[in-house]
């Protein structure tokens, strides 16, 4: 099932609390994430959060743990993969 790009799901995403999401990436991505949130986050291919609904990150390149399996979105959509930030569609 395709993860819907909506605010309800976005608010449940744990990516920002994940050790793989570095402080550098949080600072770098904050402006564009905010602008897209105010405009077209539901109509874009790329967003630097909720990577299970979007493509992989342009900033995260190293796995340091993944919180996806504990996320409510993961459970709701019966997702099976992890590390959606590193590979579009995630990896087993
Ligand atoms: S997809 Fe997984 S590894 Fe990547 S930031 Fe989100 S919780 Fe962390
Ligand atoms: S399953 Fe992972 S990428 Fe998807 S919303 Fe949850 S924490 Fe974010």
Please report which confidence band the pLDDT of residue 1 belongs to, taking 50, 70 and 90 as the band edges. confident
pLDDT tens figures, 52-82: 999 999 999 999 999 999 999 999 999 999 9
Contacts of residues 4-10 at CB distance under 8 Å and 24 or more positions apart, as own/partner, are 4/53, 5/41, 5/42, 5/43, 5/47, 5/50, 5/53, 5/54, 6/42, 9/50, 9/53, 9/73, 9/76, 10/37, 10/41, 10/49, 10/50
Please report which confidence band the pLDDT of residue 41 belongs to, taking 50, 70 and 90 as the band edges. confident
Atom of ligand 2 nearest to the CA of 85: 3
Whether the model clears a pTM of 0.85, i.e. scores above it, the answer is yes
Give residue 41 CA to ligand 1 midpoint distance, Å: 18
- Specify whether the CB–CB gap between 74 and 83 falls below 8 A: no
Tokens of 5: 């790009």
Give residue 66 CA to ligand 2 midpoint distance, Å: 9
DSSP state of 78: T
pLDDT at 42 over 90: no
């Amino acid at each position: 099932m395709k993860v819907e790009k909506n605010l309800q799901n976005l608010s449940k995403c744990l990516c920002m609390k994940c050790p793989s999401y570095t402080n550098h990436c949080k600072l770098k991505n904050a402006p564009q994430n905010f602008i897209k949130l105010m405009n077209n986050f539901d109509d874009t291919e790329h967003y630097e959060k909720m990577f299970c609904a979007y493509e992989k990150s342009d900033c995260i390149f190293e796995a340091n743990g993944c919180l996806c399996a504990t996320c409510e979105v993961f459970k709701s959509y019966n997702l099976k993969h992890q590390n959606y930030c590193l590979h579009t569609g995630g990896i087993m």
